[in-house]
A = this chain, B = another copy of it.
Amino acid sequence: MIITLTTDFGLSDPYVAAMKGVILSIAPDAAIVDVSHDIPPQDVDRAAFVIKGAYPFFPKGAIHVVVVDPGVGTERLILVVKTRDSIFLAPNNGALKYVFDVHPEAKVFCAARPEYFRETVSRTFHGRDIFAPLAGHLAKGVPPERLGRPFEEYERGTVTAAARLEDRIVGEVIAFDRYGNAITNIPAEWLADADRVRVLVKGLVLESLSRSYLDVPAGELLAILGGADALELSVNHGSARDKLELSLGETVIAVLG
């Protein structure tokens, strides 16, 4: 069974390995896949974006564990979420907002059975002491509903959708990647069939979508339908983030036709 891990633990400390040790102690055959441990500390929104970009590509039944958990040690709850194809574990803090957004069928439980935790639970490291053992037991076939109780009042988080007004789509930058590409919330499918698309950002106008980064000279800005199935702003051999001094939430407008 596949278990993926998304955390803000970094890879310099023993934290991720301790989680893996606990998982493998319970489920020796689990195939553990790192999504990212480079989520900036406590950045729940970034965690939500990163798991969104990874989980749809995993096989049915995969267990996705997200531990970005500023509230560790408080009374905040831990969610066990079952969608049609996957299981998710995450604190009740919005880290699964994109999952809830596209999976109305999701069944949500909150972890409430300490017999599935480690015997001793620390105040600061529930990744190792609660999330990892829960993941291990799920991988061994314990059904989500046995780990806790149904829970309706979970934190759904806020997904900012792009708005469409006739030939005008108003969206925003929701993430940057390593290359400095700026990923927007404007769905690729809204643009894919348009005869013409112009893109407006920070007072600039791009007259059409590009089909590859090399469509423009090195250092030049372009707009493209990216791998996240969304409109992205990029710079050939450079960073759109740096070139335009973009921030998260920056408005991006696409004009069709």
Q: Interface of A with B (CB < 8 Å)?
A: 2, 4, 8-15, 17-22, 24-25, 28, 31-39, 41-42, 49-59, 62, 70-74, 122-125, 128-129, 177-179, 211-214, 224-227, 229, 232, 234, 237
Contact = CB atoms under 8 A, between A and B. Distances in A.
B14 A36 contact: yes
A211 B123 contact: yes
Contacts of A53: 13-15, 17-18
Nearest to A212: B73
Given A58-B24, A128-B57, A70 B214 contact: yes
Given A18-B54, A24-B33, A59-B21, A122 B13 contact: no
Given A14-B53, A15-B227, A32-B33, 13 more contacts: A10-B177, A10-B178, A11-B37, A11-B38, A13-B36, A17-B35, A19-B57, A25-B58, A73-B213, A122-B227, A124-B213, A124-B224, A125-B227
B17 A4 contact: yes
Contacts of A224: 73, 123-124
B12 A38 contact: yes
A224 to B, nearest CB: 6
A236 to B, nearest CB: 8
A84 to B, nearest CB: 15
B25 A57 contact: yes
A26 to B, nearest CB: 9
Nearest to A178: B10
Contacts of A57: 17-19, 21-22, 25, 128
16 contacts: A8-B178, A10-B177, A11-B36, A11-B37, A12-B36, A12-B39, A13-B53, A15-B177, A17-B57, A18-B57, A21-B54, A28-B59, A73-B213, A123-B226, A124-B227, A125-B226
